[in-house]
Amino acid sequence: MKKQLEGIRVVDCSIYASTTLTTRILADWGAEVIHIESPGGDPGRRGHLNVDYEAYDFEFYNMNKKGIVLDMKAPQGMEVLDKLLDSADVFVTNFRSRALSKLGIDYDAMHKRHPHIVWAQITGFGDEGPEADAPGFDVVAYWARTGQTVDFVERGESILNAPIGYGDSLTGAVLAGGIMAALFNRTRTGEGEKVTTSLYGTGSYAMYYTIASAYDGMTYPITRKEPAAIPLKNGFRCADGEWVYVSILDHERDWPKLCKMLGREDLAGDERFCTLAPAQRNCRALTDLLDEEFIRRTSKEWMELLAEYDLPYSPLPHAGEIYQDPQCLANRFVEAYVTRSGKTFMLPKTPVRFGDNVPAESRPAPRFGGEDTEDVLRSLGYTDDGIAALEAQKVVSVLRED
């Protein structure tokens, strides 16, 4: 079955995460993605640069891609890159702009030589301003700079030690959407264009409600006892020690329903809680009351009742439990991935589907050393002698089977 991006060639000049997630998405949708590694290897391999090492993070970000080793600092390496770009549709990078300019692959330089290319980049803090070229991993630019590290905690508690890769994945997905729009525009104009986003910009966008409500006078971080703006958006401990999270946004509509579910119809008309404004003013008392009710039953019992009354809820599993969730498995959001050596990881699948297609099995990430260098060079017209010469000059590396 033909995939949506079949026939599109993407040159992936990335390290670590963010844009490698972008190109993973494009690869899952059928594009031919060629991931370029320097002779020293992608640092996303975390220093394990032997052929047989398989890191779950590198595997996740680089499935379904081809891998070549190319020294872009050498003039012959840039010749190879230019030939590759002649045949490509998209160039994706998360190198800093200063480094790209030194290599001559910044947008202006590349657009002059390859005007058809959609040129895409993720930066830490945006491509303008005093920190345009500052280093910015996701825990710095996505989490810390946007306030999430200090505001997504219980009031009075320590700052959040943010999970790595979270902002990279969301920002990478945003860039994939931008690339698709630019490719669509190219079908009308015949010309590529520059597409950029940043960890800071995507993190700020994700914080829209928090930023707007802070501007409107809300103080963060909040406390569970005073959820304030949405009094019925909270987690409650149950009789078995587990928590259930409830999110009721239409307060006036669902308050009587919640009271009936709790067996507390007497509260339905309580002027402290029955409409949103007084419930916001009395949110601590409301939270205390609900705590007393939810502790009377087990989480299983409450979830059955919440489902019966059609109220939005969720259990609160840990990350290590998600891959066992029947709902997750039924939709193949996460599934077993077996590496070349037989090692198994439970890894997420790209969440977008087209029609009723089931996500296809994934090709393992390319092995270090230039697993696909020879095939890619042949597709560009290089002969055996030409490849051997580049290899002898250490411009490329070719991984060969023993």
3 state SS of 259? helix
- Please identify which of the residues 71, 106, 168, 254 carries the catalytic annotation: 168
C-alpha to C-alpha distances, 350 to 175, 285, 317, nearest whole angstrom: 14, 43, 21
Are the CB atoms for 23 and 92 separated by under 8 Å?
yes
Residue 337's φ and ψ, nearest 5 degrees, are -120, 125
For residue 221, cis peptide bond before it (omega within 30 degrees of 0): yes
C-alpha to C-alpha distances, 319 to 67, 152, 398, nearest whole angstrom: 31, 17, 39
Q: Identify the bridge partners of residue 236 per DSSP, sorted by sequence position.
A: 244
257: Cβ–Cβ under 8 A, 6 or more apart, which residues? 309, 310, 311
> What's the CA gap between 402 and 388, in Å, rounded?
17
Tokens of 208: 């829209």
Whether 12 sits among the annotated catalytic residues: the reply is: no
Are the CB atoms for 217 and 280 separated by under 8 Å?
no
Residue 376's φ and ψ, nearest 5 degrees, are -65, -45
Q: Greatest CA separation found in the chain?
A: 87
Q: Alpha-carbon dihedral of residues 2, 341, 170, 373, nearest 10 degrees?
A: -60
Report, as residue numbers or ranges, the catalytic residues: 168
